[in-house]
Amino acid sequence: MTSSLRCLCSKKHIFDTLRTPYHAAVSLQFVRWRMHRGVPRPLHKLEKKIGPKINVEDEYEKTWKREMHKKYRSQMNALRSEIVRDTLHWLGMNKVEHLMASQKTQMAEWEESHKLNDLWNAEIAKQREERMMKERRKVEAANYQKMVVGLRKREIRREMAESFLGEYSSMITPDNLDEKIREALDAQVQHSRPLDNEGKPEPIMMDMLYNQVPEDETWKADSEEREKDLSEDPDDNDASYLDSDLGEEMEGMDVDAIEAEDFNHGDEAEETNDGQDKKS
């Protein structure tokens, strides 16, 4: 009861300081029954708590042990650092000596390996030179073979061309073009020259029919080769023709008169045909 009154008094004091009416304290509701932070500490909590009793001997022993542990730890740290420093110095010196010795050995090994590499490079260069020489000889042989084949082909083509030109000597070439043009202009073309089965002209028949004899004498050679007299009828030498009466009758007839009569008869037949065409 007293505590509650004290609390109310304290609250009243607070409300007085806040200039609020006292009857308003009855209607105030604090959150979760918490006191305001401005409320003073209650009296039952103002008393000091008495701790456990301290044993002086135990406390002295604990302090002594703590101090001894600190000294031991500091001494051990110093000793450890000194050992580490000496060890590192020793390792550093040994490392330098080791590096110098290893550098010498490495230089010796490098020189030896360099000499071996030079020997190996010389051997490989010699082998490469031999291989390149063989390949070069193969290429030269192949090129020589190609050249020989090309020259042979060219010679064959030249021989073929020469033989072709020899067979066709009358062929027109740039060298004899002017001569061939001159010969063509000077030559007299006779389109009515008949040819035999062998393609050779028959000048005697032309002499008989058209009175055309070529200026050259090739027809004489052709007639001599055939060994036949084309001026005579081939049937005159036939035995059956000579034995028959028809041959004697033909020998007694005038051949020129018969040819003239046939020619006149042919003209009359042409005139009659023309007259019939006009009448129609």
pLDDT per residue over 58-68, tens digit each? Answer: 888 999 999 99
**b/e 22-55 (16+ beta carbons within 10 angstroms → b):** eeeeeeeeeeeeeeeeeeeeeeeeeeeeeeeeee
CA distances from 169 to 141, 159, 162 (A): 41, 15, 10
Q: How many CB atoms lie within 10 A of CB 102?
A: 11
* Residue 206 clears pLDDT 50, i.e. is over it: no
pLDDT at position 189: 63
CA distances from 266 to 115, 250, 255 (A): 122, 22, 17
* Residue 2 clears pLDDT 80, i.e. is over it: no
Q: How many CB atoms lie within 10 A of CB 156?
A: 10
pLDDT at position 208: 45
Q: Which two tokens stand for residue 9?
A: 């008094």
Q: Residue 207 — pLDDT band, cuts 50, 70, 90?
A: very low
Q: Residue 47 — pLDDT band, cuts 50, 70, 90?
A: confident
pLDDT per residue over 70-109, tens digit each? Answer: 999 999 999 999 998 888 888 777 777 777 777 788 888 8
Say which range, 39-48, 187-196, 260-269, has the weakest mean pLDDT. Answer: 260-269
Contacts 24+ apart (CB under 8 A), 196-202: 202/230
Average pLDDT of span 169-179: 80
pLDDT per residue over 239-279, tens digit each? Answer: 554 455 444 545 555 545 555 555 555 555 555 555 555 55
How far apart CA 107 and CA 109 sit, in angstroms, is 5
pLDDT at position 263: 52
**b/e 168-191 (16+ beta carbons within 10 angstroms → b):** eeeeeeeeeeeeeeeeeeeeeeee
How far apart CA 53 and CA 48 sit, in angstroms, is 15
Name every residue whose Cβ is closer than 8 Å to that of residue 213 and which is 6 or more positions away in sequence.
Answer: 203, 206, 207, 219
* Residue 161 clears pLDDT 60, i.e. is over it: yes
pLDDT at position 65: 93
pLDDT at position 145: 93
Looking at the whole model, is its pTM more than 0.85? Answer: no
Name the percent of the chain lying above pLDDT 90: 24
pLDDT at position 261: 58
